[in-house]
Each structure stands twice: as structure tokens, then as C-alpha cells.
Structure 1
Amino acid sequence: MDEELPDGLLFKDQDFSSDLLRQLNRLRQSRILTDVSICTGPWEAPCHRTVLASSSPYFRAMFCSNFRESREAKVQLKGIDSATLERIILYVYTGEARITAETVLPLMEAASMLQYPKLLEACSSYLQSQLTPGNCLGMVRLSEVFSCEPLRRKAREVALTHFPEVAASADLKELCALELRDYLGDDGLCGEEEKVFEALMVWIKHDLQARKRHVQELFRQVRLQYVHPAFFHHFIANDALLQSSPPCRTILEAARRQMFSLHSTPSAPDLQLLWHVPPRNSYQDFLLLLGGRKDNQQTTRDVLLYDAQSGQWRSLAKLPARLYKASAVTLHRSVYLLGGMAVGAGKSEPSHSVYVFSLKLNQWRPGPPMLAARYSHRSTAHKNFIFAIGGIGEGHEVLGSMERYDSIGNAWERMAPMPVGVLHPAVAVKDQRLYLFGGEDVMQNPVRLIQVYHISRNTWFKMETRMIKNVCAPAVVLGERIVIVGGYTRRILAYDPQSNKFVKCADMKDRRMHHGAAVMGKKLYVTGGRRLTTDCSIEDLASFDCYDPETDTWTSQGQLPHKLFDHACLTLQCIPHSVTVPSGP
């Protein structure tokens, strides 16, 4: 585009430089005015020194200094084959280079040697487009040879993002100990800790005698607190190689106590630090809603997943049965659905059934049934155990019983019953204790009690309090406090077990009950439920709200896909790319 000047016009010919380059290439092809031949072995290409010197610092230094090549008619280039050199010269005279899987590596090597950074960058971009879990580790090493940071960064990202597939590649076995430790210790690694451990053992056993001295430093990169306890028990705890290392035995014993002992047993400071390493960044919390009453119709089998990053709801595999007022809890990256009133075939009866859901597989499977059929009960998890508490039994009586599921032994056992049988209390576990707040008695009157169960001692005690008057309210652990969310009231109470004191938080918008609540990312999310209007009528809700304890404020997150109450609401942590679910409802 021409440019107006105060004293005239600046004419710009946009095609001049490209036309000039084409003319120079024709002169080269006709050997007109060429003054040097670039050779590799017997092959040679006539060129113009000025064109080569203008194209790269390498040739500029060769032809514009006192090197003998500046005077010779033929210049030999070693380490470049004739086909690659021809492509380089064609690039110099046309600005074009055809990059393929067969040509990219020699072209990249030549571009690096002869100092053509844009050609090197183009080769890097091509290789980035060809990255796979099977070749990314090799690409990382290649990028280091050519000091190509974009390729190194992208190849490492693929290696971390697709670690389970990378771990199965032959290239992983060829890493040095420092390289493997760098990968295994990275917060961005996308793979379950079980895969991290398996990759470590495959690497060591590939050359056991030479590599077993690295077992301690590499084993410390496995975040044992996020390993499934059954996997730890069967595949890690008694591994002969780990047992042969005294430092590894110390780590194993500390992990065993943390996972399986119900008593708090402090470890050495460095082991405590090792145990409290956060989960990898690739893990994400998902909110799940299970069952309940949908749009005030019959009990639904729907399972909904909320992805906070996309703000979208999706439908998962439906519940295996239509269960009214079942209870659900998460344990070891699985969801356990317990009991409920089995609805169908013209009759309804309390159920013993247990179903286990894998988000990774998007599948339900049967689990070992509870000892007592129950519905309207509460459940919670601690370490390797699930507690099923109270509810209504087969004779329609209010149950004071509690049973515990051992996920390692895969069996239920009866525990000490609660002091006062109540329905619909708020339940949470904190500091080795299980807390039941409020609830209602058989006459549907609110119970002003806190009932506390000491998990390792299997004993209960109760405390009366005027602060409690909740029914059909959930409780969650938020930081160091247990938060009781509504329950025929707008009130939010935060209970501090250490001081045995309550603190009032910002009220909800509505007097709410039969709703769900769960914690994601240090915030409280409340879903659906029913509200009492000002004229004391009951209205079903599709609201979806978030409470931020930092600011003590509530914000709306929009709406659920439909009105919902008496549903289970919980969070499940997993790696997003390992989850395959259909599109939203």
C-alpha cells in the first residue's frame, strides 16, 4: 500500500522482493552469475555467495571473513546429505521447504547447523503436530539436542497428559533416573498414583542391578495417600524390592498406619510432609447428584454430573434401581449407593442393597448388601470405612442402629447404636469423630442434640444444645469446621469441634430442606431441595447456589436441569481425561 508523504508519495511494490527471489533462483538454475558451488560428496549446487551470505549467519561468517571458503570455488559441507542440502538451497532461493515425516529430522539438523531459525521452527511445529504418547519422550530428547524449547514443552505436555500410555512405551525404560524422577514428581502428571507406582517398578526391573539403588528417591515421588488402599495392601505394602530398602520400609509402615489405623499415630516430620503433599493438578472435583424426586414426580433414577470448569451438567448411567431416600457416599474414587425404599411392581419395601459406581467406567455394579434394610438413613465415610446410620427399617420403625463397611475386607459389621434414634440428622466426620446434629424423633419433633461417635473406640456420647434445630439438612466439612446447611430454616451454622462452639454464617435466601450440599474447591455448593414460602406452602427448587467462606457470601450458579429434592449430592475427585460420559441432558 502506498503511503502519502508531505512532499510526495512513497511507492511500495509488495511483490518486488518475491519477484527478485524468483529471478535469482532462475539465474541459479541456469548457472548465471553463480560464483560458488556448495557440495556434499560428489553432489554440488551452483549458488551466489551474496544470496547465501544474506540468508544465514553461518554463510555470512563463511564468505565475509578471512576463511579459505570465501575464496574457493567449491565448498564442502559435511554431515548433510545431498537431498537435504538441495532442500536447504531451494528454501534459501524460494522461501519454501516441504516437510514430511521422512525429511523433517535431517532438515531440522541442517537448519540448526546452518542457522536457519525459521526453518528450524517450522520443523519443530511439524513435529509438534505429530506428537503421540509413543514418541513424545524421544521428542523431548530431540528438542534438547536442538535447543528447541517449544518442541520440548509440547512433548513434555503430551508425556504428562497421557502418562498411562507413555508408561507402556519402550522409551520410558530408557530414561535416566533423574529424568524419570522429574516426570513422576510433576504436579501436572495425568495418571492415577497406581499407574505412577507401576511405571516406577517397570523402569527399575528393566535393569534391576543397576537401578535398584534409585528405588528410595523414586518411590518418594508416589503420592501414597491417593493410592487405593486395596492396591497398596495387595501390590505395594509387601513388595520384596521395597521391603529390601530400610528407608522404603519406613515409608511403607508410616503409610500403612495412616491408611489402616483408626488411631492417630504421628510420623517423623519428613514423613508427615510426604503424606500431606496435595493431589496432582490433573485431579478435578466433580459434583454428582443421584436419584431423588424430580419435578415433584416419582423417584428418579437420574445421575447428573456438574463440571465446574465448563459450567455444564451431563447425564451419567442411571441408578440400577428406583430407590426412594437412599443414601450415597464417596470412597476411594467410587460412589456407594446404600439402601433406600425400593419402588416398583406395585409394592415398596426397604432395601439392603448396595451399588458401586465407577465414574471412569460410567458403570454401576452390585456391592455387598447391608446387614439391615433401611431408608431415610444417613451415611458417611472415614478412611477405608463407610458408616450407615439410623433410618427407617423393615417394620417402619426408627432405627438407632449403625453398621460399618470395611472396603478392604469387603464386609459389613454392626457397630454401637446411637444414643437416641433420630431421622434426617446432619452428619459429618471430623478428627476421628462422627457427628450427628439434630434430626427428628418418631413424632417428627426436632431433636436438640449433638450425638458424637468416637470411631476408634466404638463409643457414643451426646450433648444437648439450644443451637440445633435442623431437620432434613446436610452437613459438610469446610476447613476446620462442620457446616450445617439449613433444614426448615435459612440458617447456616459452622461448628468448631475443638471449642465446641457454633458460629453463624450468612443466611440462605430461602428456608430450605431436603436439599443437597457438597464442597468443591473450598466452597460450599447447595442443590435443589424444597423451600417454605412466606405463606408456609412448600415449593420445589431447581436452584444451584454457592457459599464462599472467605467472603461469607452466597452467589447463584444458575439452575439444575430440573427441580429436585431428597437426592444425594456429593463430590468425586478424578482425572477428567479418563472420564467418558455422554453429552448433557
Structure 2
Amino acid sequence: MEGTRQSRICRPHKISESSKVYRWDDHSSLVLQSLNEQRHRGLFCDIVLVVDEQRVPAHRNLLAVCSDYFNSMFTIGMREAHQKEVELFGASYIGLKAVVDFLYGSELSLDGGNIDYVLETAHLLQIWKVVDFCCEYLENEVSEENYLYLQELASIYNLKRLDSYIDSFILQNFGTLSFTPDFLQNISLQKLCQYLDSSNVQQECEHDLLQAALQWLTQYPERENEAYQVLDNIHFPLIPKSDLLHRVKPAVCSLLPKEANCEGFIEEAVNYHNNVTAQPVLQNKRTALRTSEERLLFVGGEVSERCLELSDDTCFLDIRKGQWVAETPLPARRSHHCVAVLGGFIFIAGGSFSRDNGGDAASNLLYRYDPRCNQWIKTDPTQALEQENGYEGHDN
């Protein structure tokens, strides 16, 4: 025995002592593939999931790795941790089979026939990657025919991503959807107020939003109690004064009871229109324009160094097109003036109406631009500028 044993060859010194890491790139996929083959052959499966009297064999370790639901079931002392068969309630065989096939094969097939079952089962088993895929599938399916059903689905399963997507869909199509029977009958108070309050809601004018609100309120008598909360989101001051008095007020008074206290919104708007110079201090959420877009402006100034001509342009930078776009002309050509944006208004103060910067060309005028009506309004002159340039209290 001793004589037949091979002698050990000494390790040559020329082999490096440095280390190198080798990676088996497809190891995880091959292991998963082998586990899937074992599952189909019934090898080493230590649990059988039962639903709708159908049985789905699986491996506990894979289920625990992929599902918070199963991980808790197998680790916190539940009796199912030691059972060979575990019955699932609140799931379906169609959904369970699709989910388990995904865990072993990394592919999920969704269609109109199984999406409800898969979503229900994946949410129950807390397999969030499948839930995400279901949301992505449903986002691509949102239409005017099913958006309310999908919104309800998002609410049931707390699918914030899908709910947000449907909100955007409704806001973009509000002008059409808000007058359909489905919307008027089924949209919730909370969602309606959210849409009416949004700066991104689709509308031609504030009249459209008011009309949609009134139609929703008059669908059911009990909704009259919500009138104040709903109309609080209408920007009444954006409606012309004549329309407020001759169209809006009669409509609100005829459709809603006096106890709803909604006439105060109209009175507030009329008072806002009547006090033009005080509007900057009367600003509130209902006077704001429905836009979240900020713009870079240039207002007036000298056309060029060598030219005596001044500009009366008010332009904004269109970021998408990369060019300046004329918004509205100034009431008069100006340079060296002060410009400020306050409460959504543009103010132009002082300046010079020629390139001569002496006292004869200085201006004490203050103008305010209202983007809602595309109109410049002349306000009180700047008294401080008059005194500085000798327009008041000067003997000459």
C-alpha cells in the first residue's frame, strides 16, 4: 500500500501569489432554470400551495426570498411553516399560477383575461415586482371607457403609481370627461376638488370648470351640502365681471340653496374687479392663473447702442422652441425702467421715454400688466420720482 502511493509534486515557485476573481455570469439564471425543472418534475418541492382546489408545488426558500408574505409565514412561527400543504384565501388559481411561473421563469404574461387575478394574487402575496408590472400594463390600457374602474382598482390595492397616472389622464381630458354621466355620477368629492384645484386641468375658460362643478353638484340632492367645498376651487375672479353678474350669479342662485353660502365667492370676485388698484393685495388662490409655468421676460429697453429707438416689446423665452416670443407691447416705449413681478402681475415703474437720460425724459408713470386680460393698466404716478426730478415743490 505504501509503495503504490504517488508522491506529491512540490509546488513550483513560479506560480504567482496574486488573486483573481472569476464570475459565472449566468449562474443565477441556470440555478433558477434548474429549480423550475425540479418543480415541474416534482423534485425537492417542500410545499404545495392550494387555491380553488388546485395545487401548485414550490420550494419554500424561493417563495420566502421573493415574497414578504411567505417570508413572514415561514419565519414568525405560523403553523403553515410546518405544513406540507398551505391553502391560500383571497387568491385565484389563474393568478397564483402566473405569479409562481414568474418567480421561477422571470417572465410574466398579462392580458385582459388574467390581469385582475394576477394583480389580486400578487398584492396578497406582496410580490411587488409583479404589482409594478400590472400597473405598467394597466397604464397602457387607460381609456375613457375604463378609467373609473381602474381608478377604483388603484384605490382598493393602494396603487399610488396607477392612481397618479389616471389623475393625469383625467386632468388632460377633463373638458370631455367631466360632462359624461359616468364622471358626474361616480367621481368622488375628494377627486373632483383635486381636479378643480389643479393648475393643469384642461379647460377653455373658468366657465367650463364652474359648469362641470355645478352639474356634479346637481346630480344628487345630498351633494348640495358639498357645494361650498367644491366651489371653493373655482377661480371666480378669472371670470369677467359682466359674466359674474349676469350669468354666474343667476345660475348659482337658481341651482344651489342660499344655505350653501356660495354667493360669497361671487361677491368676492366682483369686489376684486371693482378695486383694480387694490388687486395685488387681494390676491388669493382663486385669483391665481391656472398655470404652473414660469417664464423669463425681457421688457422694453434700447434696441441697440447706436440706435436712438427704444423698444415697447414684452417678450418671453419659449424654452421648447429656444426663441423669444412677443407677449404684448408696452403702453409706451421705455428704457432704464424698473420691472417687478408681484402676485402674478408685471409692474413697470419710471424710466425714460428717450435715450436722453436727463430730467426732461424721465417718467414717473407706473403701469401694471394683467395677463388674465392681456391689458396694461395705468396706476398712480410714483410720487418719489416726481420729487427726485423736481416735478413737485420746485419753483422753476
Cα distance in 2 for residues equivalent to 1:113 and 1:246: 44
Query: Is it true that 1:256 corresponds to 2:270 in the alignment?
Result: yes
Q: Give the aligned partner of residue 159 of structure 1.
A: 170
Q: Give the aligned partner of residue 289 of structure 2.
A: 279
Q: Is the Cα–Cα contact under 8 Å of residues 134 and 165 in structure 1 kept in the other structure?
A: no
Alpha-carbon distance change, 264 to 230 in structure 1, aligned in 2, over 3 angstroms: closer
Deviations 1:161-194 (A, max 9, x none): 3322332341453233233223222334343322
Q: Give the aligned partner of residue 301 of structure 1.
A: none
CA drift at 1:274: 4.7
Counterpart code for 1:198: Q
Deviations 1:235-259 (A, max 9, x none): 4120112463462223323333444
Cα distance in 2 for residues equivalent to 1:137 and 1:124: 15
Cα distance in 2 for residues equivalent to 1:132 and 1:286: 37
Give the TM-score taking structure 1 as reference length: 0.48
Question: Which residue of the other structure, out of 199, 211, 214, is the alignment partner of 2:212?
Answer: 199
Q: Give the aligned partner of residue 210 of structure 1.
A: 222
* SS class of match (1:179): helix
Q: Is the Cα–Cα contact under 8 Å of residues 170 and 177 in structure 2 kept in the other structure?
A: yes
Cα distance in 2 for residues equivalent to 1:488 and 1:226: 38
Q: Is the Cα–Cα contact under 8 Å of residues 137 and 159 in structure 1 kept in the other structure?
A: no
CA drift at 1:19: 0.9
Question: Which residue of the other structure, out of 365, 376, 386, is the alignment partner of 1:495?
Answer: 365
Query: Is it true that 1:14 corresponds to 2:28 in the alignment?
Result: no
Comparing 244-253 with 22-31, greater Cα deviation is found at 244-253
* SS class of match (1:237): helix
Task: Please identify the structure whose Cα radius of gyration is greater.
Answer: 2
For 1:286-301, list aligned pairs within 5 A: none
Alpha-carbon distance change, 227 to 215 in structure 1, aligned in 2, over 3 angstroms: same
Cα distance in 2 for residues equivalent to 1:200 and 1:281: 20
CA drift at 1:114: 0.5
Overall identity of the aligned pairs, in %:
18
Cα distance in 1 for residues equivalent to 2:316 and 2:72: 61
Q: Is the Cα–Cα contact under 8 Å of residues 295 and 316 in structure 2 kept in the other structure?
A: no
Deviations 1:214-234 (A, max 9, x none): 112211210011124565355
CA drift at 1:90: 0.2
Q: Is the Cα–Cα contact under 8 Å of residues 243 and 249 in structure 1 kept in the other structure?
A: no
Alpha-carbon distance change, 485 to 142 in structure 1, aligned in 2, over 3 angstroms: farther
* SS class of match (1:39): strand
Q: Is the Cα–Cα contact under 8 Å of residues 236 and 287 in structure 2 kept in the other structure?
A: no
* SS class of match (1:221): coil
Alpha-carbon distance change, 198 to 20 in structure 1, aligned in 2, over 3 angstroms: same
Q: Give the aligned partner of residue 174 of structure 1.
A: 186
Cα distance in 1 for residues equivalent to 2:256 and 2:292: 27
Comparing 164-173 with 211-220, greater Cα deviation is found at 164-173
Counterpart code for 1:90: D
Deviations 1:323-357 (A, max 9, x none): xxxxxx98xxxxxxxxxxxxxxxxxxxxxxxxxxx
* SS class of match (1:158): helix
Q: Give the aligned partner of residue 146 of structure 1.
A: 157
Give the TM-score taking structure 2 as reference length: 0.68
For 1:16-165, list aligned pairs within 5 A: 16-132=27-143, 135-136=146-147, 138-165=149-176
Q: Give the aligned partner of residue 581 of structure 1.
A: none
* SS class of match (1:147): coil
Q: Give the aligned partner of residue 305 of structure 2.
A: none
For 1:347-386, list aligned pairs within 5 A: none
Counterpart code for 2:365: Y
Deviations 1:392-417 (A, max 9, x none): xxxxxxxxxxxxxxxxxxxxxxxxxx
Cα distance in 2 for residues equivalent to 1:71 and 1:225: 68
Cα distance in 2 for residues equivalent to 1:216 and 1:26: 64
Alpha-carbon distance change, 198 to 21 in structure 1, aligned in 2, over 3 angstroms: same
Alpha-carbon distance change, 30 to 67 in structure 1, aligned in 2, over 3 angstroms: same
Q: Give the aligned partner of residue 303 of structure 2.
A: none
Q: Is the Cα–Cα contact under 8 Å of residues 37 and 74 in structure 1 kept in the other structure?
A: yes
For CA contacts below 8 A with separation 6 or more, give which structure has more relative contact order. 1
Cα distance in 1 for residues equivalent to 2:285 and 2:97: 59
Deviations 1:90-112 (A, max 9, x none): 01111211122332232122111
CA drift at 1:494: 6.0
Q: Give the aligned partner of residue 185 of structure 1.
A: 197
Q: Is the Cα–Cα contact under 8 Å of residues 38 and 44 in structure 1 kept in the other structure?
A: yes
Q: Is the Cα–Cα contact under 8 Å of residues 49 and 87 in structure 2 kept in the other structure?
A: yes
Question: Which residue of the other structure, out of 305, 310, 328, is the alignment partner of 2:320?
Answer: 310
Alpha-carbon distance change, 275 to 91 in structure 1, aligned in 2, over 3 angstroms: closer
Cα distance in 2 for residues equivalent to 1:307 and 1:242: 44
Cα distance in 1 for residues equivalent to 2:216 and 2:115: 30
Q: Give the aligned partner of residue 221 of structure 1.
A: 233
Richer in strand (by share): 1
Counterpart code for 1:199: A
* SS class of match (1:9): coil
Counterpart code for 1:8: S
Q: Is the Cα–Cα contact under 8 Å of residues 495 and 501 in structure 1 kept in the other structure?
A: no
CA RMSD of aligned residues (A): 3.9
Cα distance in 1 for residues equivalent to 2:146 and 2:84: 43
Cα distance in 2 for residues equivalent to 1:492 and 1:190: 45
Comparing 37-46 with 306-315, greater Cα deviation is found at 306-315
Deviations 1:109-150 (A, max 9, x none): 211110111111121222233334664455444334323332
Richer in helix (by share): 2
CA drift at 1:200: 0.8
Cα distance in 1 for residues equivalent to 2:81 and 2:38: 21
CA drift at 1:83: 1.4
Cα distance in 1 for residues equivalent to 2:224 and 2:194: 17
